[in-house]
Amino acid sequence: MLFCTTSNRLHVFTRFVLISGILLLFTSVIPDIACAQKVDPELKPYEPVGGEVAGSLKGVGSDTMNNLMALWTEGFKKFYPSVREGIEGKGSSSAPPALMEGTSTFGPMSRPWKPSEIDAFKDHFGYPPTVIPSAIDMLAVYVHKDNPIKGLSLQQVDAIFSKNRNGGMKKPIMTWGELGLTGEWQDKPISLYGRNSASGTYGYFKEHALFKGDFKSTVKEQPGSSSVVQSVASDKYGIGYSGIGYKTADVLAIPIGASVDGELIAPEAPNAYSGAYPLSRFLYLSVNYKPGSELEPLRREFLKYVLSATGQGDVLKDGYLPVTQKIAQKSLIQQDHTLHA
């Protein structure tokens, strides 16, 4: 498993991973990079290889990454038309068992692996999973486009969604008036929308926005990220959470503050890259790689595609933020020469 610590809620990697002659180095440099909303110019476009790259490319896991996986596989197939693809967005919790059972090629996940999942994988194979950060997301708190709220602290978010209020608020927040809204909003109950427990987004929100507390029973669980946003868009008094890639014109992704008296930080690219936005996170691709072995061409080339300028261009298309060479990898080194993904 990648060794990581947490800084401003983005996971920081300090491990070399050698995969089929490709050396991946993950480093903790999120605060050091320029705030770019374009692909890192140091990343080179993907260059296809000669020979046969074929087979079935199947991703089982994060619903948040469903569209992104589709873009990656579609782009990859332009170079290798004989590749077959299949994507199942069942939630991040479905990725580890699918990799263990051999029913997936990659496990897209919107959260890190849990210790119990790593242990189960190691017990089965004798080595840990390899986890590669492949994009950056901002978990957004959405309200209806007509809602006048200026933003919320994490402690207020916790008091809205959680029954425990581990963030420290003394009372639950039930109405919009309790957040300072007046007029027609003052007495209106807050309608809550979220994901189910199989979702990595659910788990991330529970840990970081609810301070590891439990959701209220009144949260209306939705089957996917887009469903959460659609529900908020159709409910004037609703609030929900989802990845920033699912934002539409019918909702507002509101600024979030790390503390009650702290600055409200908008979910915008510079704030994600700097670590200022408190709900920034990596999106991951997990792979079953036996140390010392070689990946077959299909998985090897797909990883190179994802981590290339071409693959990171797909990340931008889907509304997420591309990893830079310094964030996701210091270099891709292939046996006799260096390739920058």
What pLDDT is recorded for position 8? Answer: 39
Q: Give residues with Cβ within 8 angstroms of 211, minimum separation 6.
A: 154, 158, 162, 164, 166, 167
What pLDDT is recorded for position 316? Answer: 95
| Ranges in the chain annotated CATH 3.40.190.10 | 4-136+283-339, 138-280
Q: Is 103 in contact with 60 (CB distance < 8 Å)?
A: yes
Q: Has domain 4-136+283-339 been given CATH number 3.40.50.300?
A: no
Q: Give the percent of the chain with pLDDT over 90.
A: 79
What pLDDT is recorded for position 340? Answer: 34
Q: Which is nearest to 240 in space by CA: 222, 256, 223, 265?
A: 222
Give CATH for domain 138-280: 3.40.190.10
What pLDDT is recorded for position 329? Answer: 59
Model confidence, pTM? 0.81
Mean pLDDT in order along the chain per 10 residues (341 residues): 35 39 38 56 93 93 94 97 94 96 96 96 96 93 98 98 97 98 98 94 96 97 95 98 95 97 95 94 94 93 95 95 74 32 34
- The CA-atom distances, in angstroms, between 255 and each of 215, 216, 267, 278, 283 are 21, 22, 6, 10, 21
